[in-house]
């Protein structure tokens, strides 16, 4: 994905991240066909977020803070009794959160 933010071009590969202000002027070009994009937007000064991709190959403990958002990118995962497939998501206030199964998951940790 080629993302231009306020006249600066960023060439992003799969799972690359780019933080920028919501009021920035942005344009996007996808030269190699279709893509999926995951955005985490927060209210500046009220909530902050970190985002990471985690490969799950068995039980993984994910520490959280105020809120934890989990989105399955591929595979099949279990969080307690909840089973999740690709593009399913879950919001939790529990810490830590144990994720089982196998696949790739995006984890956003929200803090106040």
Give the separation between CA 79 and CA 69, rounded to whole angstroms: 12
Give dist(CA 89, CA 1) in Å, integer: 23
| Token pair recorded at residue 45 | 């000064």
The number of beta carbons lying within 10 Å of the beta carbon of residue 105 is: 25
Taking every pair of Cα atoms in the chain, the longest distance, rounded to a whole number of angstroms, is 46
Read off the pLDDT of residues 73-98 as tens digits, 9 standing for 90 and up.
999 999 989 999 999 999 988 778 89
Which parts of the chain sit beneath pLDDT 50?
none
Neighbour order of strands in the sheet with 8-11: 8-11, 2-5, 26-29
Residue that the structure tokens 């958002």 belong to: 69
Tokens of 12: 């992003």
Q: Which helix (H) or strand (E) holds 22?
A: none
d(CA 58, CA 41): 30
Query: Which pLDDT belongs to residue 87?
Result: 95
């Amino acid at each position: 994905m080629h993302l231009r933010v306020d006249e600066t071009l960023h060439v992003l590969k799969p799972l690359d991240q780019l933080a920028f202000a919501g009021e920035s002027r942005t344009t996007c070009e996808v030269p190699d066909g279709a893509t999926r994009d995951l955005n985490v937007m927060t209210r500046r000064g009220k909530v902050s977020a970190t985002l990471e991709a985690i490969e799950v190959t068995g039980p993984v403990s994910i520490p959280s803070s105020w809120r934890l958002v989990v989105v399955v990118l591929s595979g099949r995962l279990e969080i307690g009794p909840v089973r999740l497939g690709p593009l399913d998501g879950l919001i939790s206030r529990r810490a830590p959160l144990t994720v089982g199964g196998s696949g790739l998951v995006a984890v956003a940790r929200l803090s106040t």
